[in-house]
């Protein structure tokens, strides 16, 4: 968190499968006919700092890397817990 209270765009930013389904009509109304999802496999939750402290505005440094993008799968048989929507089958 920065001095002004703003947070850096590092890591998971929210969103799940239900959110996609809840917004299908909105997405369609914008003229899109496809949705590209992040890979849905389990990814590491911790940040990899490369020895540097993870701080606000640190995304331009070597630190603050996380598996938020979905391309660092750690378990090919488990969905990422950030994307699962309770009650959605």
Query: What residue ranges do the domains of the chain occupy?
Result: 1-89
Cα(37)–Cα(23) distance, rounded to whole angstroms?
Answer: 13
Is residue 16 predicted with pLDDT exceeding 80?
yes
Q: Which one is predicted more confidently, 9 or 69?
A: 69
What pLDDT does residue 78 have? 92
**Can you give the pLDDT at residue 32?**
97
Higher pLDDT, 50 or 12: 12
Does residue 61 carry a pLDDT above 60? no
Spatial distance between the Cα atoms of 57 and 59, rounded to a whole number of angstroms: 6
The three-class DSSP label of residue 59 is helix
Residue-level pLDDT at 34 = 95
Length of the chain (residues): 89
**What is the arithmetic mean of pLDDT over 63-88?**
81
């Amino acid at each position: 968190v920065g001095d002004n209270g703003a947070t850096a765009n590092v890591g998971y930013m929210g969103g799940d499968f239900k959110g996609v389904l809840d917004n299908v009509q909105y997405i369609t109304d914008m003229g899109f006919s496809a949705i590209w999802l992040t890979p849905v496999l389990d990814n590491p939750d911790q940040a990899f700092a490369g020895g540097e402290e993870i701080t606000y505005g640190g995304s331009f440094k070597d630190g603050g890397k996380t598996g938020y993008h979905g391309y660092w799968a750690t378990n090919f048989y488990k969905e990422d817990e950030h994307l699962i929507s309770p009650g959605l089958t």
